[in-house]
Copies of this chain bind each other. A is one copy, B any other.
Amino acid sequence: MGNKELRISPSVIRRLPVYLRLVQELKELSIATISSQEMGDRLDLNPAQIRKDLASFGEFGRKGVGYNVAYLDWKLRQILNLDRQINVALIGAGHLGIALSNYARFQSERIKITAVFDRDPQKIGQKVGSLTVADAQDLPLYRQKYNLQMGIIAVPASAAQEVCDELVAAGIKVILNFAPANLRIPKGVHLRNTDVTTELQALAYYLENE
């Protein structure tokens, strides 16, 4: 596991894809090197923070020269395991599931929704993009056949814990949850919740009182 043992904080990890996206933009602009100062300007982040984040993974900037964009791209992909294809199981073939599976950018980022599942007999067998909705109870089979490594939960809150348990039982240890529910997970499983309600409620703080 190498660098995992250093216990990098989740907030550092969450900034790495932001750096990676900037690096893609720089590559498209044929920019070969960039300073932490310029990265900070472009991302509205403190350059010292960026240097510290990247230094967690070894020395790969040079003082006065900055970061080599191509190397940064390679290194960030290596750290994030994006140097190979990652197969994702999507559970829930409702509007959210369809929206997620249509998300074209996944493909180019090596993260690919490889299988879509639902429990609803009316949805099983239907096409979602190029995929056919499978029966959720066949998850363990698909897990092995397609080397599914990540799960996305896109079901109603009432079904989310059960789906989460099934993902974990099938051996999927990295899960992104869209349902507004506090899910219980065993040790060793990584769960990230993206709850739209929570996002909107936090944003509401910034409304001006009228």
Contact = CB atoms under 8 A, between A and B. Distances in A.
Copies in the complex: 2
Contacts of A98: 95
A144 interface: no
A8 B202 CA distance: 12
A80 interface: yes
Given A200-B176, A202-B192, A207 B16 contact: no
A209 B16 contact: no
A202 B103 CA distance: 17
Contacts of A203: 150, 174-176, 190, 192
Instruction: Say which size band chain A's interface belongs to.
Output: 35 or more
Contacts of A208: 1, 173
Q: Which secondary structure dominates chain A's binding surface?
A: helix
A176 B207 CA distance: 13
Interface string A81-98: 110001010000011101
Contacts of A199: 176, 192, 194
A196 interface: yes
Given A1-B208, A79-B205, A88-B200, 4 more contacts: A82-B201, A95-B98, A150-B203, A192-B202
18 contacts: A10-B202, A18-B198, A21-B182, A25-B182, A79-B205, A80-B205, A81-B205, A82-B201, A82-B204, A95-B95, A96-B96, A109-B201, A111-B201, A149-B207, A173-B206, A174-B204, A176-B199, A192-B203
